[in-house]
Chains A and B, each alone.
Chain A
Amino acid sequence: MMLVKRDMKSKELAEIIGITTANLSILKSGKAKAIRFSTLEAICKALECQPSDILEYVED
């Protein structure tokens, strides 16, 4: 969602925050078990947004 708003491609974002596209795909699909604060900080910095803009609580 934020990627579309910022008109940014996944590959671009992955390069900026320093993770692989495979790992970014895991994050986007919600398969990730946890996220490091440094990664979250880098994403927020790159997308110029708050953590609440990219995180969402979904009940199992």
Chain B
Amino acid sequence: MNILKKLITVYYYVVGIVLLVSILLPLFWVFNFMVLGNNTNITLPSVYKLTILILLLVSLLFFHFKSIRIIKMSLNDLSNGDYFSKSVIENFKKAGIYFLVCAVLQTISKIFSSVYRFEIELGVDVSVLPFIITGLFLMFLSESFLKGQKLQQENDLTI
């Protein structure tokens, strides 16, 4: 459990730094484009497309960051042996939903970028599968913990 906690904490900070950079970098580009006037080879439609793509990727990172944060919070309860607490059940469900949102956002951004670059390929893209599997697994864990909580309550009220 301690190793998992440390891993999640490290990953949490890595995602946080990446999110921060992904927010600051486009701002720097905008500053470069608007203030310094380095607008060579940049057309207005491409700026719009790029902005949408960046927004999609930033929101994807934001939801990923939030889900990791929620898991990190729940690990404290889990390490204390409090498996069936209300917060763990709710947090796991939330994290699962956020992972599914990440999968949707990644799919949209992939479709968008492939259309933008005209690199449409035939085949199945499995890169969203980890998000979907993790999300559904977390939601399943939440349901299991909910059943566990009911059993524990029954057990506590058996005198």
Contacts and interface: CB of A to CB of B under 8 A. Distances in A.
B107 to A, nearest CB: 45
A32 interface: yes
Determine the interface band of chain A, counting residues with CB < 8 A from chain B.
10 to 19
Contacts of A32: 157-159
A32 B153 CA distance: 10
Give the residue among A19, A31, A33 with the most B Cβ atoms within 10 A: A33
B157 A26 contact: yes
B104 to A, nearest CB: 41
Contacts of B159: 19, 23-24, 26-27, 32, 34-36, 39
B154 interface: yes
A6 B153 CA distance: 32
Give the residue among B153, B154, B158, B159 with the most A Cβ atoms within 10 A: B159
Contacts of A35: 158-159
Interface of A: 19, 23-24, 26-27, 31-36, 39
Given A26-B157, A32-B158, A33-B157, 9 more contacts: A19-B159, A31-B157, A33-B154, A33-B158, A34-B154, A34-B158, A34-B159, A36-B159, A39-B159
